[in-house]
Each structure stands twice: as C-alpha cells, then as structure tokens.
Amino acid sequence: KVFDEIVAVKEACGEDVHLKVILETGELKTYDNVRLASWMAMEAGADFIKTSTGKVQPAATMPVTLIMLQAIQDFYEQTGKKIGMKPAGGIKTAKQAIHYLVMVNETLGSDWLDPHMFRFGASTLLNDLLRQIFAQYSGQYFYDDIFSLD
C-alpha cells in the first residue's frame, strides 16, 4: 500500500519534480526495517529519502543514517540512479554535522557532498554554526540562543 502511494505521488509530481520521502525511522524499530523502507521508497520513485520529521525520537542517528546511505549506494550500483539523503532531528552541533559529512563522503563519495544530494534537517544546527563562525572572528562564544530560538 505505501509503495503504491509513493508511486502515485511520484506520477502526480512528474519527472521534473523531486520527490522527498520521509521514513520516520524512529518508528521502524530495526535497522532491517530502515533498509527495507529506504529501498521501497527508492524503488517507488523517491528522489530523496529523509530519516524523519525530527519530531519522533530517535530521529536521525549515525547508525540509521549509515544504513540509509548504504541502501542508496546499493540502489545506485544496481540502477545508476542517484538518490539524495537528508538526516533530520538530533544534529545540533557543527562537530556532529562533520561526522555525518565524513560518513557520506566515505560511503557514497564526494558527488553526494552537494546540497542537491545531501542536506541537513536540523534547525538547531544553525545556531551552533553561527556561534562557531562568530567565535572565529571575535574570539569568544555566545549562548546557544543568541542568534535564534527553536
């Protein structure tokens, strides 16, 4: 049923529109289920797969993201189609973001280090990035909420 719904949405969107499918991985319980859901979404026509809305915990985790990246890699090797990825929820610091970027590069390669192929869904990450940039120029860190509030 879910497969058919994704197919129908993709058909309604047409080929010129990129379809992002949110898996809500926190509800899937096992890594096998995450892999199966990733594969199903890609087979059904997803151009981008996303870990979660960020509202259900656990949201994006390193292991779940790796499983999804490996599914994307396998799908690409079998079909030649590049699928984008968006981990969302729980990525709060620049240091965490760097870990994810390294994982993407090591799993899929530098072609995926592009906003058309990989992006973060992490609103709280912005504050830390701004704090890091500001600290580099001013030599001091500010409170977490100095730039924006969640």
Share of the chain above pLDDT 90, in %: 64
Report whether pLDDT(144) > 70: no
pLDDT (tens digit per residue) in 97-120: 999 999 999 999 999 999 999 998
Give the count of beta carbons closer than 10 Å to the beta carbon of residue 18.
12
pLDDT digits (tens, 9 = 90+) for 50-72: 999 877 788 789 999 999 999 99
Mean pLDDT (whole number) for 60-88: 96
- Residue 43 confidence (pLDDT): 98
pLDDT at residue 123, rounded to an integer: 74
Give the residue, 57 or 48, on which the prediction is more confident. 48
The full 3-state SS of 80-133, as one line of letters, equals CCCCEEECECCCCCHHHHHHHHHHHHHHHCHHHCCCCCECCECHHHHHHHHHHH
Q: Please report the domains of the chain, with CATH numbers, ordered by start residue.
A: 2-90+112-123 (3.20.20.70)
pTM exceeds 0.85, yes or no: yes
Q: What is the pLDDT of residue 69?
A: 98
Confidence label for 145 from pLDDT (cuts 50, 70 and 90): low
- 139: region left, alpha or beta (phi > 0 left; psi from -120 to 50 alpha): left
Omega within 30 of 0 (cis) for the link into 58: yes
